[in-house]
Amino acid sequence: MNYLKILEEITLELKSYTTVGQVTNTIPELAKINPDKFGIHLTTIEGDDFGIGDSQERFSIQSVSKALTVALAFSFLGEKIWKRVGVEPSGTAFNSLIQLEYEKGIPRNPFINAGAIVIADMLVSCLENPKEDFLRFIRLISGNPNIDFNLSVAQSEKDTRFRNAALGNFLKSFGNIENDVDEVLDFYFHQCSIEMNCVELANAFFFFANEGKTRDGKSILTTSQVKRLNAIMQTCGFYDESGEFTYKVGLPGKSGIGGGIVALYPKNFVVATWSPKLNKKGNSELGMHALELLTTKTEMSIF
């Protein structure tokens, strides 16, 4: 498969695609990003790399980090994490409060904000130095010791935290947060502020495609655990657009409001895209289209 040629074709086709999306306005610091950035990087399971465009420029991974926090919590706590967070699609927006009331504080899945805040609480409980330890985990799985938080982005999200603070407090009122809400939110804002480029993201997610082992062979999760997390990415990774992503792309993946998407084909490849303009559901408009073109052209989807 000539992946580089396919990525070049995709980039060319995207140039004539008219976008209507907007850069996120929920975190002021992220509203400053150049909306016209576009990068894509694909890493095969054999270890070949193909990248194009702004694939080496770092951006805020935001909710893409939720797949990594749940992986770390799953590795520590196993199946019991599912007592506090579900595995069902929510059908609601990423930051919605509405289901929490009638489902008594158990978020539908770990990828909506409410679920990710519960996962953050689990990590605050079981890590000695939560922020440092999580960063160490990201550096380990990506094989890159330079990955870091963007403290201005974390602060900007903290300054405008009203909805996430509401979710955190609401969860606490149902007894589904063990720690101090502000401490949990501080961890959550830092995990979201991590900056990586498409190459680094493809490396970090390699273990999801490689039966739980990183690119350099470190064991992170079991084959069964990775199967389960990939299944949740497939059904819940794109909020209330998860069905649409599955229909169009046919791969498990996770998006973030920084404009990043990571998708993977187990035992075949990991691909990361970055384009900051988001559609109405908060997913990268061009990133989704690029991945639709990728699986159409390569005929490589899990379906």
Contacting residues toward ligand GLU, per CB under 6 A: 26, 62-63, 94-95, 113, 157, 164, 192, 256-257, 282
DSSP 74-94: HHHHGGGGGGTS--S---S-T
Residues ≥6 apart with Cβ < 8 Å to 241: 279, 281, 283
Q: How far is the CB of 72 from ligand GLU (least distance, A)?
A: 17
Q: Which is nearer to ligand GLU, 164 or 214 (CB)?
A: 164
Token pair listed for 138: 């990201």
Q: Which is nearer to ligand GLU, 52 or 124 (CB)?
A: 124
Q: Which is nearer to ligand GLU, 63 or 210 (CB)?
A: 63
Q: How far is the CB of 290 from ligand GLU (least distance, A)?
A: 18
Closest CA to 164 of 68, 212, 234, 94: 94
Burial class (CB in 10 A: 0-12, 13-18, 19+), 110: buried
Q: How far is the CB of 26 from ligand GLU (least distance, A)?
A: 5
Q: Are 59 and 276 in contact (CB under 8 A)?
A: yes
Which residues partner with 88 through β-bridges?
none
Q: How far is the CB of 225 from ligand GLU (least distance, A)?
A: 23
Which residues partner with 263 through β-bridges?
253, 271
Q: Helix %, strand %, coil % for the chain, to 5?
A: 50, 10, 35
Q: Which is nearer to ligand GLU, 3 or 274 (CB)?
A: 274
Q: Which is nearer to ligand GLU, 7 or 167 (CB)?
A: 167
Q: Which is nearer to ligand GLU, 52 or 119 (CB)?
A: 119
Q: Which is nearer to ligand GLU, 63 or 268 (CB)?
A: 63
Q: Are 279 and 285 in contact (CB under 8 A)?
A: yes
Query: Which residue carries 């890159």 as its tokens?
Result: 144
Q: How far is the CB of 164 from ligand GLU (least distance, A)?
A: 5
Token pair listed for 79: 């199946």
Residues ≥6 apart with Cβ < 8 Å to 171: 100, 105, 107, 114, 117, 118, 121, 177
Antiparallel, parallel or unpaired: β 195-196 and 59-60? antiparallel
Measured CA to CA, the distance from residue 140 to residue 75 in angstroms comes to 14
Q: How far is the CB of 49 from ligand GLU (least distance, A)?
A: 26
Q: Which is nearer to ligand GLU, 113 or 214 (CB)?
A: 113
Q: How far is the CB of 216 from ligand GLU (least distance, A)?
A: 28
Q: How far is the CB of 263 from ligand GLU (least distance, A)?
A: 16
Which residues partner with 163 through β-bridges?
none
